[in-house]
Structure 1
């Protein structure tokens, strides 16, 4: 069965209570007059209250209305928080390294606003020592006390012992913080890239300046050498001319 409202010619009643496009109350009119008013304004006639007597219809842009409704529904789903129960299984004689790993998962779940079901699995003779399971669950509850609390106290269930931890933080708060952290990381990445690009540009500018200075020094040295050579040539020519003059006089 379709959940969409009836529009235009699909509204098959003799009279309707008409609402204008700006929310104004027109009153009870025939369906033909209502359709004519909607067509004159190049809009649709949409049934908004089918169970009323007579049904209530409104003149509107139905395509725009559907689009805005879809956006609102999407936003509502984005902010909707579903309670999730995660499960973590432990052994009574768990290795310290494995315990830290499992505890890390529990911390992550609680930070995300999820509940965590802790299950201690007993095997063989371990079933005769339930205090090992209670001791381990108490230790875990103390280690994550800042993030969660014991919502369901440890209880023996056949070979297993079960405890449920609930988060102090609501799911919606955790989701909002996660979105904020993500936006901050993105903003930090953009700033970092900009600073890196500026630093590279500055380094390039310094290198270009050093290259120009080096080129200028090279040019200046070459010019000085050339000038010295020219001076030496002139001095040599003058000395040769003097010698020749002395010889002629002799």
Structure 2
């Protein structure tokens, strides 16, 4: 039976630190030395900072003077950014028939190329029907062909294997997922920048056209005045 309360991952701060003395670290990382908890709390109050226990298992525990609210905020932002940039390799699946026609093959291959370029694995499944099951070499030949066609982008991570009515092969990307994500972000930024440049380039042309219309109007007006 658990009689204790929930274990908190938060460090103890200020008067929650119940030890007689601590090894104190200043706000800039300087070593202050071993001081009594009363002196450490007094220094924290005078500096308008918090006393935070950063190494509770040390003897004596290590505590640091810091702005704990700011520290928590910055830590949360760093964790959020790390999750944002975390690369998760996804397994995509592509299904083919042993007697696929050339056009469909090129279309399917294009999808495989796109998946590998994005840093994802691709599970290729050859589906056999009826009498096709007696000719597994057709599926193996097709898988070997596909692996050869995309060898610059991917490699055979799981060799072709018969699985009931299907034959399966897994291709792994040569490009790391994190690199693919970085390239995608850079390409998006480049497209946005190019769009902005195109918009700026069109603006003067419109201005020049308006100026030409004004000039033409003025010339017509002058001609009418002369005619009068």
TM-score (norm 2): 0.91
Match of 1:55 among 58, 61, 71: 61
d(CA) in 1 for partners of 2:12 and 2:143? Answer: 58
Paired position in structure 1 for 2:192: 186
d(CA) in 2 for partners of 1:62 and 1:154? Answer: 56
Cα displacement string for residues 1-49 of structure 1 (whole angstroms, at most 9, x for unaligned residues): 3212111122122211111111111111121211111011111111111
Structure 1 stretches of 5 or more lacking a match? 223-250
- What pairs with 1:209-228 in structure 2 (closer than 5 Å)? 209-222=215-228
Cα deviation for residue 128 of structure 1 reads 0.6
d(CA) in 2 for partners of 1:9 and 1:203? Answer: 74
d(CA) in 1 for partners of 2:211 and 2:18? Answer: 77
TM-score (norm 1): 0.84
d(CA) in 2 for partners of 1:147 and 1:113? Answer: 9
Cα deviation for residue 151 of structure 1 reads 2.1
Match of 2:41 among 29, 35, 38: 35
Kindly indicate whether structure 1 or structure 2 has the higher relative contact order, using CA contacts under 8 Å at least 6 residues apart.
2
Cα displacement string for residues 74-130 of structure 1 (whole angstroms, at most 9, x for unaligned residues): 232233222222111222122433323222211110000111111112222211100
Paired position in structure 2 for 1:8: 14
Q: CA RMSD in A?
A: 1.5
Cα displacement string for residues 196-231 of structure 1 (whole angstroms, at most 9, x for unaligned residues): 122111111111111112111211221xxxxxxxxx
Structure 1, 109-118 or 169-178: larger mean CA deviation: 169-178
d(CA) in 2 for partners of 1:190 and 1:2? Answer: 50
Paired position in structure 2 for 1:150: 156
Cα deviation for residue 167 of structure 1 reads 1.5
Structure 1, 181-190 or 121-130: larger mean CA deviation: 121-130
Structure 1, 134-143 or 174-183: larger mean CA deviation: 134-143
d(CA) in 1 for partners of 2:196 and 2:89? Answer: 34
SS in 2 for 1:23: coil
Paired position in structure 2 for 1:25: 31
d(CA) in 2 for partners of 1:11 and 1:205? Answer: 76
Cα deviation for residue 62 of structure 1 reads 0.9
SS in 2 for 1:78: helix
SS in 1 for 2:63: strand
Paired position in structure 2 for 1:120: 126
Q: Which has the larger radius of gyration?
A: 1
Moved over 6 A (4+): none
Cα displacement string for residues 153-193 of structure 1 (whole angstroms, at most 9, x for unaligned residues): 21112221111111221212211111110000010111111
Higher helix share: 1
Q: How many pairs align?
A: 222
